[in-house]
Amino acid sequence: MDRCVVLVDAGYLLGAAASLLAGDPSRSKVTVDHIALIAALRERAEAETGLPLLRIYWFDAAPDRRPMPEHRRLRVLPRVTVRLGALTRAEGRWVQKGVDAAMHAELSELARNRACADVVLITGDGDLLPGMMSAKEHGVVVHLWALQAADGDFNQSEDLVGEADERRVLDREWIEGSFSLRDTSAVFPAPGPRHEIAKILAAPPAAHPTGLPGTLPGTLPGALPAAAAVRPAAGAPCCPPSPCATWSCRPAG
């Protein structure tokens, strides 16, 4: 069939985009406009291969293989199929399982059934090398796409790069068309006084019976409150009746 197919390793795509834009491979560092991303992938694939798109396969992982909100958004888009592996916790980090195997199986099946003439692979994992070689043996042209690396070096397996028929690098400008840094200011607001405290601090000084600011009822200007007059010396024991609850002092005896 004279059609093209795109296979996306979401872990690689999102991690590489986060590394480039945020300097951190955590996908939580970026937000994705999935509609814009799928449209850009389709447009680029059809332009590169000169063939109409059959389908975009999105390979990702999720706890218990249950679709996350982003997977639900993706799978209702036209020409998009979501395949999920398992996401498990191991040695304090999240590890995806079954994604490479699912990509390999899909690639081999598409090539064996001659469902497409060209395949675009967006991945960096060398585990997909046998699937790539199998597709080529069935006459499929394999295009390997990379995202621009944050350090300017390769972020893909050299074996994949060497075996691919065509290789392209999606640059920063292309990536910024559908990826952006996540704004955390709304989630973690800057520290500051609470609203009630801010109102108190902004209020003008209250009027006093003496008519003089800074004095308390029943006192003369410059006089200290009774509690302040009996403040214990530093290190002195607290003996009732004294205002020790107001000051910091050591216990008696």
Task: List pLDDT tens digits, range 50-70.
Answer: 999 999 999 999 999 999 999
Per DSSP, what are the bridge partners of residue 56? Answer: 6, 80
- For residue 82, list its beta bridge partners: 58
Beta strands 93-97 and 80-90: pairing type?
antiparallel
pLDDT tens per residue, range 12-22 = 999 999 999 99
Is the torsion defined by CA of 147, 151, 153, 155 positive or negative?
negative
Which one, of 173, 135, 148, lies nearest residue 5 by Cα? 135
- pLDDT given for residue 137 in this prediction: 95
Closest C-alpha among 79, 77, 76, 85 to residue 103: 85
Q: Do residues 236 and 249 touch, judged by C-beta distance below 8 A?
A: yes
- The answer to whether 56 touches 80, Cβ cutoff 8 Å, is yes
Task: Read off the pLDDT of residues 82-123 as tens digits, 9 standing for 90 and up.
Answer: 999 999 887 778 888 899 999 999 999 999 999 999 999 999
Provide the token pair at 140.
């499929």
Amino acid at 91: E
Average pLDDT over residues 177-203: 62
Of the candidates 179, 122, 120, the one whose C-alpha atom is nearest the C-alpha of residue 147 is: 122
CA atoms within 13 A of residue 134's CA, in its CB half-sphere: 17
Per the model's pLDDT, the better-predicted residue between 80 and 248 turns out to be 80
145: three-class secondary structure by DSSP: strand
Please determine, looking at this structure, whether the domain spanning 4-180 carries the CATH number 1.10.1060.10. Answer: no
